Structure 1
């Protein structure tokens, strides 16, 4: 699915990105405080630091702003997951790095993530499937990391096991965003990452031990 186009009358791509970043920052605070439907485009423009007329040079509808919020989250996640992984693909170290980078993004973009899940229902029928597909693509990145570990002999997992573990990682990252108010009383972010990663790898190891025991019992 190609990237959904949000039309702008301004042709300078750098300026478009700058203005939209300002919109996203202002809109997130408003959506969190008032909700999507109670927030006006004029309020978004004021929060972004420019006029309502300028706002409509970069978007066409208020929904475009919510869409940009959602899309920016996934762009950040994608960029961070790819960072520093090229030379370490297919290793446990690359998997740990990918998990850590994802959790860091969940921490950095907590406000955006909370708004997205609260207001994603307000997206139109053409935008919602794209956003949901982007989420599956993020999970797919972890599937790829796990598959490369299997190919290198670092892990021994079936296709179904790879898929459920990828979803587990994604949900654990989201949990830090949704439950950070409670989790930060117990752990630093780095402690949370280390604990969740250790539990994940221990679970995989236990899974292998259980399967080996079942095979041995069957042979007996």
Structure 2
């Protein structure tokens, strides 16, 4: 069983810990995107977050802790947004709503997704295993929706195809973060979502 990594802090105030770590995440994302994880220093992370190196070390112990917090914050946001959706179970419309919300989340957090996939290999083994587990939980959200649509008869998809389709939804959403530099010339996020969902449900040959 993969357990959540504990990021130790010498501060006891949970609200303050959350606030400072959010500042760290915002500062680190911009820094890691610009310089890469290995070239960025903890002193630069502290400066980007708006506080001293001494304050930084009150809330984390290593630079890898900061990268882990970036990754964990993404999955938490995905889970929070999708689990809060008033989705009608077992319907294609409900699946479309979930895809729309997920792709908009990627649009909102494109820098975070870029950093996560470029730099997560630098995480310690236990932290990387946790991050990969959270990735699979994200895929499982769409597997469940696809399975419900299949059971209701709204989608003709076999059990063997559900997993691939779920991965397809997740990866095609993330492509907006990786390829937006080229895609934004022809697509808005809304048109991108429409094209991707149409191709998912209708295919590209027919």
TM norm structure 1: 0.89
Equivalent residue, structure 2, for 1:122? 122
TM-fit CA distance, 1:203: 2.7
Q: Which residue of 2 aligns with 1:11?
A: 12
> 2-side partners of 1:19 and 1:58: how far apart?
7
CA-to-partner distance for each residue in 1:92-114, whole Å, 9 max, x for gaps?
11100110111011111111111
Partner of 2:34 in structure 1? 33
Q: How does 1:64-143 map to 2 (within 5 A)?
A: 64-86=65-87, 88-143=88-143
Give 3-state SS (helix, strand or coil) of 2:194's partner.
Answer: helix
Bigger CA radius of gyration: 1
Instruction: For residue 126 of structure 1, give the secondary structure of its aligned residue in structure 2.
Output: helix
Of structures 1 and 2, the one scoring higher in RCO (CA 8 A, sep 6+) is 2
Superposition map of 1:177-192 within 5 A: 177-192=177-192
Looking at structure 2, the residues matched to 204 and 90 of structure 1 have their Cα atoms a distance apart, in angstroms, of 24
1:51-108 per-position Cα deviation (integer Å, ceiling 9, x unaligned): 111111111111000000111111111112223235x111111100110111011111
Distance in 1 (CA, whole Å) between partners of 2:204 and 2:84 is: 25
How many residues matched? 205
- The CA distance in 2 between the partners of 1:203 and 1:151, in whole Å, is 20
SS of structure 2 residue aligned to 1:28: helix
TM-score (norm 2): 0.94
Task: Provide runs of 4+ in structure 1 moved above 3 Å.
Answer: none
- 8 Å contact 1:23–1:65 — kept in the other structure? yes
Q: Which secondary structure does the structure 2 equivalent of 1:171 belong to?
A: helix
What is the CA RMSD across the aligned residues, in angstroms?
Answer: 1.6
Larger deviation, residues 138-147 vs 7-16: 7-16
How far the C-alpha of 1:205 sits from its partner, in A, is 11
List per-residue Cα deviations over 1:3-46 (Å, max 9, x = no partner).
22111121222211110010011111111111111111111111
* Mapped contact 1:81–1:98 kept (Cα < 8 A): yes
Q: CA deviation at 1:152?
A: 2.1
Q: Which secondary structure state, in structure 2, belongs to the residue aligned with residue 18 of structure 1?
A: helix
Give the unaligned 5+ runs of structure 1.
Answer: 207-220
Hey, what's the Cα distance between the residues in 1 that align with 2:39 and 2:162? 42
State the 1:153 CA deviation.
Answer: 2.2
